[in-house]
C-alpha cells in the first residue's frame, strides 16, 4: 500500500501542494506555507486521487465524464487493486491485469469490478483517513494564526472547504 500511496503523492498530491505554495507566494503570504501545511495539502491530494479512482471505477461514467473503466483497461495500480489482490478474486484479477491494454473483455471488466466492489469500504477508509488528517491539520494551523489575521483565516477556511469538496465530489 505504501507504494501505491507514494505514486499518488508523486502523481497528484505534490501538484496540489505546489499550487497552494504558488498561491501563498502570489498573495505575498509565503510564511503561511510551512512544512505542516505542505503535509496537509499532500494528504488532501492523496484523498483526491483515491476519490478520483473511486469515481472512475464505481462512479456514474456519464456523470464522471471519462471513458468508463479505462483505469481497469489500462491495468492502473491503485488501492482497489491492492485490496482486491488480498481477496478470493486475486488470481482472476491478476490474470486480467496481465492482459494488454485494449484486450480486456466486458466479462473481464465485470470480474474486476466485482472484486473492486468487494473492497470499496477499505478504500473509502483510507481515503477518509487522508482527508480527515488534512482537514484536522488545516484547522490546527488556522487556530494558531494571529486573531487579527483575517486574510490568513479566510485562506484556511477556503482550503478546508476545497478539501471537503475534492473528497465528496461526484465528478
Name the residue ranges covered by the structural domains of the chain: 2-76+126-168
Nearest 5°: CA angle at 130, between 92 and 73? 30
pLDDT at 21: 97
Question: Is this prediction's pTM over 0.75?
Answer: yes
Condensed to tens digits (0 to 9), the pLDDT of residues 33-65 reads: 999 999 999 999 999 999 999 998 888 777 767
In the block, cell 471537503 appears at 164
Using the predicted structure, report yes or no on whether residue 119 has a pLDDT greater than 80.
Answer: yes
pLDDT at 18: 97
Radius of gyration of the chain (CA): 18
Cα(81)–Cα(66) distance, integer angstroms: 19
DSSP string, 86-115: TSTTHHHHHHHHTSPTT---HHHHHHHHHH
Q: Mean pLDDT over residues 13-39, rounded?
A: 96
Q: How many CB atoms lie within 10 A of CB 161?
A: 11
Nearest to 21 by CA among 13, 12, 30, 10: 30
pLDDT at 44: 98
Using the predicted structure, report yes or no on whether residue 170 has a pLDDT greater than 90.
Answer: no
Nearest-10 Cα torsion for 164, 64, 122, 102: -150
Amino acid at each position: 500500500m505504501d507504494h501505491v500511496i507514494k505514486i499518488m503523492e508523486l502523481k497528484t498530491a505534490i501538484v496540489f501542494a505546489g499550487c497552494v505554495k504558488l498561491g501563498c507566494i502570489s498573495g505575498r503570504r509565503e510564511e503561511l506555507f510551512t512544512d505542516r501545511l505542505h503535509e496537509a495539502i499532500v494528504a488532501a491530494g492523496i484523498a483526491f486521487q483515491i476519490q478520483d479512482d473511486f469515481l472512475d471505477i464505481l462512479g456514474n461514467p456519464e456523470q464522471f465524464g471519462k471513458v468508463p473503466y479505462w483505469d481497469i483497461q489500462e491495468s492502473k495500480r491503485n488501492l482497489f487493486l491492492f485490496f482486491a489482490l488480498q481477496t478470493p478474486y486475486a488470481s482472476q484479477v491478476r490474470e486480467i491485469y496481465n492482459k494488454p491494454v485494449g484486450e480486456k473483455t466486458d466479462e473481464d471488466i465485470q470480474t474486476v469490478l466485482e472484486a473492486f466492489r468487494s473492497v470499496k469500504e477499505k478504500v473509502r477508509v483510507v481515503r477518509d483517513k487522508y482527508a480527515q488528517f488534512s482537514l484536522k491539520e488545516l484547522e490546527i494551523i488556522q487556530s494558531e494564526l494571529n486573531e487579527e489575521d483575517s486574510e490568513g483565516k479566510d485562506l484556511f477556511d477556503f482550503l478546508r472547504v476545497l478539501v471537503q469538496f475534492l473528497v465528496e465530489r461526484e465528478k
